[in-house]
Chains A and B, each alone.
Chain A
Amino acid sequence: MTDSISTTQSLSRESGVELDLLAREERITPVPLWRVRVKLWWRSARQNAAIFADNKIGLLGLAIILLFGVMALAHPILMATVWDARTYDPITGYSFDELRQPAPPSARHLLGTDPLGRDVLSQLMYSTRNEFILGLLAALITVTIATTIGATTAYFGGVYDMIFMRVADLIIMTPAISLLIVMCALFNPDLPQLAVVIGILSGFGGTTIIIKSQALSIRVKPFIEAAKVAGGGHRHIIMTHILPNLLPFSFLYMMFGVTAAIFSEATLSFFGLLNVRMSWGIMIFTAQAAGYLLSGVEYWWLLIPAGASITLLCSAFYLVGRALDEVVNPRLRKR
Chain B
Amino acid sequence: MTQPILSVQNLTMHYATRKGDVSAVDDVSFDVMQGDALGLVGESGCGKSSIANCLLRLLPENARILQGAVRLDGANLTTLPEDQMRAYRWKRIAMVFQAAMNTLDPVYRVGDQIIEALHTHIETMTNAEARERVAELFKIVGLDPALMDRYPHEYSGGMRQRAVIAMALSCNPDVIIADEPTTALDVIVQDKLLREMCNIQKTLGMGMIYISHDIAVIAEVSNRMGVMYAGRLVELADTADIFARPQHPYTYALMSAFPSITGPKRELTTLPGEPPDLLNPPPGCRFHPRCPRATSVCARDVPAFKAMDARHSVACWHPVEG
B61 within 8 A of A: yes
Cα A334 to Cα B17 with chains together (Å): 9
Residue of B nearest to A51 (CB): B18
Chain A residues near B15 (CB-CB < 8 A): 335
Place the interface of chain B in its size category.
under 10
Interface positions of A from 51 to 87, Cβ below 8 Å from B: 51, 54
Question: What 0/1 readout, one digit per residue, does chain A (302-335) give for beta carbons within 8 Å of chain B?
Answer: 0000000000000000000000000000000011
Cα A51 to Cα B17 with chains together (Å): 12
Chain A residues near B17 (CB-CB < 8 A): 335
B3 within 8 A of A: no
Shortest Cβ gap from A330 to chain B (Å): 11
Shortest Cβ gap from A52 to chain B (Å): 13
B84 within 8 A of A: no
A side interface size, CB within 8 A? 4
Cα A51 to Cα B62 with chains together (Å): 17
Cα A18 to Cα B61 with chains together (Å): 53
Question: What 0/1 readout, one digit per residue, does chain B (1-44) give for beta carbons within 8 Å of chain A?
Answer: 00000000000000111100000000000000000000000000
Residue of B nearest to A54 (CB): B18
Shortest Cβ gap from A53 to chain B (Å): 12
Chain B residues near A51 (CB-CB < 8 A): 18
Chain A residues near B61 (CB-CB < 8 A): 334-335
Chain A residues near B16 (CB-CB < 8 A): 335
Interface positions of B from 52 to 98, Cβ below 8 Å from A: 61-62
Shortest Cβ gap from A329 to chain B (Å): 16
Chain B residues near A334 (CB-CB < 8 A): 61-62
Shortest Cβ gap from B23 to chain A (Å): 15
Residue of A nearest to B61 (CB): A334
Chain B residues near A54 (CB-CB < 8 A): 18
Shortest Cβ gap from B187 to chain A (Å): 24
Interface centre among A51, A54, A334, A335 (most CB of B within 10 A): A335
Shortest Cβ gap from B19 to chain A (Å): 10
Residue of A nearest to B60 (CB): A335
Chain B residues near A335 (CB-CB < 8 A): 15-18, 61-62
Chain A residues near B62 (CB-CB < 8 A): 334-335
Cα A8 to Cα B62 with chains together (Å): 45
Residue of A nearest to B62 (CB): A335
Question: What 0/1 readout, one digit per residue, does chain A (167-190) give for beta carbons within 8 Å of chain B?
Answer: 000000000000000000000000
Shortest Cβ gap from B56 to chain A (Å): 21
Shortest Cβ gap from A47 to chain B (Å): 10
Cα A227 to Cα B16 with chains together (Å): 37
Interface centre among B15, B16, B18, B62 (most CB of A within 10 A): B18
Question: What 0/1 readout, one digit per residue, does chain B (215-258) give for beta carbons within 8 Å of chain A?
Answer: 00000000000000000000000000000000000000000000
Cα A141 to Cα B62 with chains together (Å): 41
Cα A335 to Cα B16 with chains together (Å): 8
Shortest Cβ gap from B227 to chain A (Å): 29
Shortest Cβ gap from A84 to chain B (Å): 54
Residue of A nearest to B19 (CB): A335
Interface positions of A from 227 to 243, Cβ below 8 Å from B: none
Cα A335 to Cα B15 with chains together (Å): 9
Shortest Cβ gap from B240 to chain A (Å): 41
Cα A230 to Cα B292 with chains together (Å): 40
Cα A51 to Cα B18 with chains together (Å): 9
Residue of A nearest to B17 (CB): A335
Cα A335 to Cα B63 with chains together (Å): 10
Residue of A nearest to B15 (CB): A335
Question: What 0/1 readout, one digit per residue, does chain B (81-118) give for beta carbons within 8 Å of chain A?
Answer: 00000000000000000000000000000000000000
Cα A334 to Cα B18 with chains together (Å): 10
Shortest Cβ gap from A261 to chain B (Å): 34
Shortest Cβ gap from B273 to chain A (Å): 20
Cα A335 to Cα B62 with chains together (Å): 7
Cα A335 to Cα B64 with chains together (Å): 13
Shortest Cβ gap from B50 to chain A (Å): 15
Cα A54 to Cα B15 with chains together (Å): 18
Shortest Cβ gap from A243 to chain B (Å): 28
Shortest Cβ gap from B207 to chain A (Å): 33
Interface centre among A51, A54, A334 (most CB of B within 10 A): A334
Shortest Cβ gap from A334 to chain B (Å): 7
Chain A residues near B18 (CB-CB < 8 A): 51, 54, 335
Shortest Cβ gap from B4 to chain A (Å): 34
Shortest Cβ gap from B217 to chain A (Å): 27
Cα A30 to Cα B61 with chains together (Å): 47
Cα A59 to Cα B293 with chains together (Å): 53
Shortest Cβ gap from B314 to chain A (Å): 35
Residue of A nearest to B18 (CB): A335
Interface positions of A from 186 to 229, Cβ below 8 Å from B: none
Residue of B nearest to A333 (CB): B18
Shortest Cβ gap from B160 to chain A (Å): 24
Cα A78 to Cα B18 with chains together (Å): 45
Residue of B nearest to A334 (CB): B61
Question: What 0/1 readout, one digit per residue, does chain A (28-68) give for beta carbons within 8 Å of chain B?
Answer: 00000000000000000000000100100000000000000
Shortest Cβ gap from A242 to chain B (Å): 28
Shortest Cβ gap from B253 to chain A (Å): 27
Cα A26 to Cα B17 with chains together (Å): 46
Shortest Cβ gap from B102 to chain A (Å): 15
Shortest Cβ gap from B62 to chain A (Å): 5
Shortest Cβ gap from A208 to chain B (Å): 30
Shortest Cβ gap from A327 to chain B (Å): 13
A-B contact pairs, 10 of them (CB 8 A): A51-B18, A54-B18, A334-B61, A334-B62, A335-B15, A335-B16, A335-B17, A335-B18, A335-B61, A335-B62
Interface on B for A, CB 8 Å cutoff? 15-18, 61-62
Interface on A for B, CB 8 Å cutoff? 51, 54, 334-335
Extra contacts besides A334-B61, A335-B17 (8): CB < 8 Å: A51-B18, A54-B18, A334-B62, A335-B15, A335-B16, A335-B18, A335-B61, A335-B62
Which 4 A-B residue pairs are closest in the complex by CB-CB distance?
A: A335-B62, A335-B17, A335-B18, A335-B16
